[in-house]
Structure 1
Amino acid sequence: MRNYYAAIQFWSYALLVVCLCPLAVLLGTYMDWPLGAAPLLLLTLPTILAAVSSPRICYWTITVLAVCACFAEILFRTDLSEVNTTYLFSILSAAVLVGMTLLIDLYIGKLRGTISQFDAQNDELVRRLYESQKESTSSFDNKDSVSETESDETSDTDSAEKDVNYPLLLLTLQDIGRRISTNQSNESLIPTVISTAKASLQCEHCQVYLWDSKVRALKNPLPARSRDKLDYRPDSNQGVAAWVIENRQIVMRNDADQDYRLKRILEEDPHMPDAIAPLTVGSELIGLLIIDKVDLDSPTIGRLIYILSNIYALGIKNSQLFKRIEEMASRDGLTGLFNHATFQEKLQQLTKTADAQSTTLSIIMSDIDHFKSFNDTFGHQAGDFVLKEVARIWKTVMPENAIVARYGGEEFIGVLIDHEYSQAMQIAEDLRETLENCPILFEGQQLQVTASFGVTEYKHPASNTNEFVRIADEYLYKAKENGRNRVVGMAPNSTRKPSS
């Protein structure tokens, strides 16, 4: 219920009703209308719109507000003389509003019941078709042949029934769609695509290659495995795969043998699998679906590959969009580093792991010296350029498994996994020297950038994430107080006194 009331649609209708209430009082007073007439005229439309487009609890709430507006007119109209008449017209107006909402409510309920009935009938029809198909197939399998001709006809019919099993195909596609929609990452989606393709097409081999439009190359999203060495490797620049990428059409090996356009290409690509299908969404190429060891004589195989390739393309595109949105939400837009909120989440996870497994964590925290002067002297574009270059240096110097984030305006922070205090001090010193010795060139001007650093190790003495960051921040400001462009920290076995 709370989610319904949090919807902007509900508050829009509620605000509209509240704003129309004083307008109804003014209109009724100016036009000398009976009480209830002006609210009925002004509130009928928003009440109907709310009843048609909002959840039930929301539009009944809007109706109650409209009814209250009808009676609120009594308190503000000063040109009334008869109380009985006042209440009578207000009650009639309120009754009309409630009646309209009730009629719409009954109609929508009836409509929803009809839709549910249709859905139930559709599910029952699919189930009956599937059971009928199974019984029909079993009857063909168990039927004794009367003669050699009858036996051949029965065999052909049985084969056709197995090839065109539409109810089973419908259920299979429904299951594939459900499984694809529940996998939002390529790590789990691509294996699902391969497994469902093998089961649906009854093929021995299936591969998915994703298209990288920046480098115009195909990439296997799965890690290389020894059992994949004999698998077909598509070439985006030649062979059948290049033709599929250019023409966005499915190529099946038996069709390619008979097509004069593809014969020459097939000679250049003698190891072509049984089928290669483009994975496309609109005009955008997502990748290739490669199928091998499949029954190409089946009358429905081409159509099924076409249907599956479209389903898979939509699923992969959805996964890519989901990942892109997730990245945008977790990273700083200017530097590309993790933002403050994401850093805190990852730090919580790392400290829990360190507590459970007794691993070592260290923090490096830095602040660019005199950063405001870059903005004041050269403009904010120069300041943004400095932040991006400093972030690039952090990503270059820090280890690959480090968590690096933009902590604030010109503050950067990094968590070193399995690094002790002395190692963290050395990396912080490398960062400091790199910044000092690499002037940043902006629009022909050299910008000399330095930074101050604070370093600490988890549990020496910090016992939680808040203390962990706070202590590193203390040493950072000690570095600034001691002259900037320096690294300050505390060794684990020393007393709580900063050392530089």
Structure 2
Amino acid sequence: MNKVEKYELVFIRFTWIFITVIAAHIIVQDIGMQTGKNTYSSTVVKLCFFTLITLLNLIKYALVRRNLFFSKKVYIPLRLTEILLILSAIALMGMGEWVYIVLMFLILITSFYMGRKFSLALMGYAFFSNVILELLFHLYIEKDSFINFYKSTEDIIHIFSIYLVFFLFTVFCSMLYKDNYENEQQNKKLFMEIANKYDQVAAAQEEIKSQNDKLRECNSKLEEANKKFMTSLAELFTLQQITQAISSILDIKELLKSVNDIIIGVMGVSSSTIILYDEKKGRLKVHTTNITNRKELIILNDNINCQKLLSTLQNGEPIFENFVDMEEYPFVEGRGINSLLCVPLITKAKKFGLVLIEHKYFSAFDDNNLRLLNIIGQQVGIAMENVELYQRMHEMATIDSLTGIYNRLYFQERLKEEFANAKREKYDLSLAIMDIDHFKRFNDTFGHLFGDKVLQHIANLMKKSLRSGDMIARYGGEEFVILLPRTGIKEAYDKVERLRNIIAKTSIKDELVVASVTVSFGVSSYPEFSNSESELLKMADNALYEAKESGRNCVRIPC
């Protein structure tokens, strides 16, 4: 609650006391001095007037308590009404001039809330209202004539002198209040600033204390950090080497050999072995090792599937042994191994295997060695997963998913490479295009699944019948293409003729369905029939067309 609200509540209480005392005094005075109907009526009018003032104060009290009084829409009308009632009490109800003290207090607290200008305007309103009420009193109530107007003029001058005193007092009090209010605000602001400064000092002291505690803690850890610094540098160098290896090597054998060499160099161990896990067989197998002694290799390979290593792979927990028991680790028997570390090569998707490092000395390893080997194992596991992903993606991009042989896109790349090599090194390059005779009949008669089986069967026969250096690809639909490096036209003809006979003699079975299939070939060769890769393809395709026109199930070469 602010000061203005307190002043208003004091004024309301003072008004109630004033109303009670004055009302009692007037009633007693009227009853004691006069009797009769006129006295009774006068007393009733006064009581009604005091009741009206009381109701107004009750309304005002409720508004102040609910913080609704100080809205200008409410404040100004109520204030004007209060002044009018006070002036009516002075002019019409016959109260003494000391009631002006109430009016003065009312104007004074108004100046505290609304300012000097409004309070002076309110004083003018009170003055003119007072004069009008005074004239009305003399003319209509006292029944004075204009002859007695001189007396009314004296009253007006008297009222003016009273309001002049009000004016001077109001100006003086408002100045005092303003100065006091400004000093109070300054003191309050100063107090808040001092409180903020105090809080800042306390916070700064707490921060200094906290920083000192941290500084002591940091100083105690500094020596330990310095001791680990050289070890960390060595680890960083190792991880850098491994990162370079795994980011540039996309072959599993080469990757694991490089990693194994790095481990031997960094750890300074007697032996390092990378063991891979065969998921189909559920067995471990030595993949890469620096062990060269034949006897030791036999012992390692024969005993690598011990329970300890298999458990490590399954639960992902490393093995840390500085005093090796040969009964628990049978692969060390007779090899003079007394310390070993083993970490799994696993990712979320797959268990790849283990990294096993061994030493001939007791207590050869510590926690730092285990931590570093764990990090290496994690990185290598991720690298192996990336290599497998790369190989699968490469296979998806180059292999036909139905037949398992190369697709047309990869064939075009290889044809371009082989033709450039043949032209540069001046060797023969032959190409054969094959088409399955009446392939649509298989799909229409036995269904597309049987047609797919025909394609797979022929692809398998071709892979088994040709050299490892020859390339087979599915060219599209029921067409296949064979690229034969360092092969002339006669040799190429003989190869595909032999392949045609093999295909013609086989039967394809699928449950109750048994069918035979024949194929037609067109063969071309560089440099005998073509001078470019596109011409090589075109000549072979023309020869294939001629084979179909000749009744199919035959081999043709360009004329």
What TM-score do you get using the length of structure 1 for normalisation? Answer: 0.59
CA distance in 2, matches of 1:429, 1:487: 6
2:417 is the counterpart of 1:354: no
1:234–1:319 distance in 2 versus 1, CA, 3 Å: farther
CA distance in 1, matches of 2:367, 2:515: 70
1:364–1:290 distance in 2 versus 1, CA, 3 Å: farther
Indicate which of 300, 311, 316 corresponds to 2:368. Answer: 300
Contact 2:251-2:387 at 8 Å conserved across structures: yes
Match of 1:337 in 2: 405
Contact 2:276-2:285 at 8 Å conserved across structures: yes
Where do 1:114-263 residues align within 5 Å? 161=227, 165-218=231-284, 227=292, 229=294, 231=297, 232-233=300-301, 237-238=305-306, 240-254=308-322, 256-257=324-325
Count of residues paired in the alignment? 330
Match of 1:324 in 2: 392
Structure 2 unmatched runs, 5+: 1-221
Match of 2:541 in 1: 473
**1:323 shift after superposition:** 0.9
Contact 1:206-1:291 at 8 Å conserved across structures: yes
Where do 1:51-66 residues align within 5 Å? none
CA distance in 2, matches of 1:363, 1:205: 51
CA distance in 2, matches of 1:403, 1:290: 41
Contact 1:455-1:476 at 8 Å conserved across structures: yes
Larger Rg: 2
Match of 2:474 in 1: 406
2:333 is the counterpart of 1:265: no
Match of 2:118 in 1: none
Match of 2:497 in 1: 429
CA distance in 1, matches of 2:490, 2:519: 19
Where do 1:373-392 residues align within 5 Å? 373-392=441-460
What whole-Å deviation, never above 9, does each CA across 1:405-452 have from its counterpart, x for those lacking one?
000110001112233323222221221112111110023211211100
Q: Which amino acid aligns with 1:382?
A: F
CA distance in 2, matches of 1:327, 1:302: 37
2:344 is the counterpart of 1:278: yes
Secondary structure of the structure 1 residue equivalent to 2:329: helix
Q: Which amino acid aligns with 2:282?
A: R
**1:270 shift after superposition:** 1.6
CA distance in 2, matches of 1:361, 1:204: 52
Secondary structure of the structure 1 residue equivalent to 2:502: helix
Moved over 6 A (4+): none
Q: Which amino acid aligns with 1:440?
A: I
What whole-Å deviation, never above 9, does each CA across 1:81-132 have from its counterpart, x for those lacking one?
xxxxxxxxxxxxxxxxxxxxxxxxxxxxxxxxxxxxxxxxxxxxxxxxxxxx
CA distance in 1, matches of 2:538, 2:358: 59
Q: Which amino acid aligns with 2:551?
A: G
Q: Which deviates the most, 344-353 or 194-203?
A: 194-203
Contact 1:163-1:298 at 8 Å conserved across structures: no
CA distance in 2, matches of 1:225, 1:353: 39
1:487–1:216 distance in 2 versus 1, CA, 3 Å: farther
CA distance in 1, matches of 2:324, 2:291: 30
2:482 is the counterpart of 1:419: no
Indicate which of 381, 388, 395 corresponds to 2:463. Answer: 395
Secondary structure of the structure 2 residue equivalent to 1:310: helix
1:440–1:184 distance in 2 versus 1, CA, 3 Å: same
Contact 1:163-1:300 at 8 Å conserved across structures: no
Match of 2:192 in 1: none
Contact 1:363-1:415 at 8 Å conserved across structures: yes
**1:281 shift after superposition:** 0.6
CA distance in 2, matches of 1:206, 1:358: 48
CA distance in 1, matches of 2:292, 2:537: 47
Q: Which amino acid aligns with 1:416?
A: L
Contact 2:286-2:301 at 8 Å conserved across structures: no
CA distance in 2, matches of 1:251, 1:328: 38
Where do 1:19-34 residues align within 5 Å? none
**1:239 shift after superposition:** 6.2
Sequence identity percentage: 30
CA distance in 1, matches of 2:330, 2:272: 22
CA distance in 2, matches of 1:398, 1:437: 17
1:283–1:361 distance in 2 versus 1, CA, 3 Å: closer
What whole-Å deviation, never above 9, does each CA across 1:204-242 have from its counterpart, x for those lacking one?
5433333332343445667x9995755443756446544
CA distance in 2, matches of 1:226, 1:198: 11
Structure 1 unmatched runs, 5+: 1-132, 137-156, 258-262, 491-496
1:218–1:466 distance in 2 versus 1, CA, 3 Å: farther
Q: Which amino acid aligns with 2:506?
A: C
Q: Which deviates the most, 210-219 or 386-395?
A: 210-219
CA distance in 1, matches of 2:262, 2:508: 53
Contact 2:522-2:555 at 8 Å conserved across structures: yes
Indicate which of 517, 520, 526 corresponds to 1:458. Answer: 526
What TM-score do you get using the length of structure 2 for normalisation? Answer: 0.53
**1:246 shift after superposition:** 4.2
Question: Would you tell me which structure has more helix in proportion to its own residues?
Answer: 2
Contact 2:303-2:331 at 8 Å conserved across structures: no
2:326 is the counterpart of 1:289: no
CA distance in 2, matches of 1:433, 1:461: 25
